[in-house]
A and B are shown apart, each in its own frame.
Chain A
Amino acid sequence: MDRRNFLKVVAAGATVVAVSPSLIRGNLYAADGKLYVGYEKAQIVDAAGVPIKASALEKEVTYIFNYPYASTPCMLINLPESAEQEVALKSEMGEEYIWKNGVGKDRTIVAYVAICAHQLTHPTPNDSFIQYVPKNKPTMAYGNSGIIVCSAHLSAYDARAGAKVLAGAASQPLAAVVLEHADDDTLWAVGILGADKFQDYFRAFKPEFKQFYSGVAEAKRLVSISAKTVKLTEFSKELIQY
């Protein structure tokens, strides 16, 4: 490439970024079926820092990891059956997007931000009102189980279908964590799909961040390299499920 062509390529690239700065950050908010923010790729590891193998995840157990921020809890679930594919979803602002599918050998592994879209209920080290309810356990929130339930105000989300709202006051699906399943059976979080409520969450729970994360700055720290995962029963002292 000669000097003139090189400058043309640089100028064209700069123009594209200037017109749409979101391309740099990976933001894809648009009416083209996507609502996605890419964050630093983080490997899902256990409490000892050992990478978790997708095939080793227990079925229908809620695992918790914080992503993309140090204080934003997410649920990792190995469903009893394959997740649906190409699910069309809509945010409360009317933006449409597509949740692709689960990952793993049988597409049974899914992950969602565990902050309820209704009133931001989320698991804390003290308690959790939001969790996956296994198929054999009844819930007051919905006729069938095998779903995610926020027992604060009984919102129910379809764990197999991008956390689509099934019942309750929630006005949009839970934001989904986009996972990658590597050839060595490890799992990686790479971004958030859907309308997250992170800013509302950061504004609302400042005192809680002081209690659990030594302040807001630490709570807002972006997760890097790996995300530690534990069972919800280990993450929260008390689980409340109706």
Chain B
Amino acid sequence: MKKFLMVLTLSVLVVSSIQASDKVNNEHRSMLMKDMRTMFEAMEQIQRGGLYSSTEDMKLGVKKLQGTLKTLEGEEVKWILPKDQKYAYQFAQKTASMLHLYSDDMVTSIDAGRMDDALEDYSQLLKQCTSCHVRIRNW
């Protein structure tokens, strides 16, 4: 009987810890998915700013984009990668650092009045996004 109770207690503990871990994973995942949607909105805002000559919109888009990059830069990014691509989280981290680099350069270019360079930075930002999505979706 004693043995049975011990096994039962252990099982309950294991199951509840798995459930707790799943809950944390799901919270992580939904937070990162939310960040992905924000990144999409940020890219739209930058593009709109570029097409309608609103440097203010472009800068706001950059700010919004950079606010989401923390999730890609850490190992937490593993939670949103497909199972067979989790190992490639360093690629996502590299993508995040390139997004930082190009978006910083975009602001510098806007401030210097070099709109050609700023729009080229936008192209490179978009390329980084597609490059990562191509990778994680095995396209």
Chains A and B are bound partners: yes
**Which A residue's beta carbon lies closest to that of B105?**
A207
Q: How far is the CA of A211 from the CA of B126 in the complex (A)?
A: 21
Q: Is the CB of B91 within 8 A of A129?
A: yes
- List of B residues within 8 angstroms of A206 by Cβ: 105, 117, 120
**Which B residue's beta carbon lies closest to that of A241?**
B90
Q: Is the CB of A211 within 8 A of B91?
A: no
Do A153 and B120 form a contact, CB below 8 Å, given A207-B101, A208-B101?
Answer: no
Contact with A along B114-129 (1 / 0, CB 8 A): 0001001100100100
Selected from A127, A169, A203, A242, the residue in CB contact (under 8 A) with B88 is A242
B18 vs chain A, min Cβ distance (A): 29
30 examples of A-B residue contacts, CB within 8 angstroms: A119-B127, A126-B97, A127-B90, A127-B94, A129-B91, A129-B94, A151-B91, A152-B91, A152-B94, A152-B135, A153-B131, A153-B134, A153-B135, A169-B134, A203-B120, A204-B124, A204-B127, A206-B105, A206-B120, A207-B101, A207-B102, A207-B104, A207-B105, A208-B101, A210-B105, A211-B101, A238-B90, A240-B90, A240-B91, A240-B94
Q: Is the CB of B87 within 8 A of A242?
A: yes
- List of B residues within 8 angstroms of A119 by Cβ: 127, 131
Contact with B along A89-117 (1 / 0, CB 8 A): 00000000000000000000000000000
B55 vs chain A, min Cβ distance (A): 18
**Which A residue's beta carbon lies closest to that of B121?**
A207
Q: How far is the CA of A119 from the CA of B129 in the complex (A)?
A: 12
Q: How far is the CA of A203 from the CA of B117 in the complex (A)?
A: 10
**Which A residue's beta carbon lies closest to that of B91?**
A152
A171 vs chain B, min Cβ distance (A): 14
Q: How far is the CA of A211 from the CA of B127 in the complex (A)?
A: 20
- List of A residues within 8 angstroms of B102 by Cβ: 207
- List of B residues within 8 angstroms of A207 by Cβ: 101-102, 104-105, 121
**Which A residue's beta carbon lies closest to that of B94?**
A127
Q: How far is the CA of A238 from the CA of B121 in the complex (A)?
A: 25
Q: How far is the CA of A208 from the CA of B121 in the complex (A)?
A: 12
- List of A residues within 8 angstroms of B87 by Cβ: 242
A197 vs chain B, min Cβ distance (A): 14
| Further pairs besides A206-B120, A240-B91: 8, Cβ < 8 Å | A129-B91, A151-B91, A153-B131, A204-B124, A206-B117, A207-B105, A207-B121, A210-B105
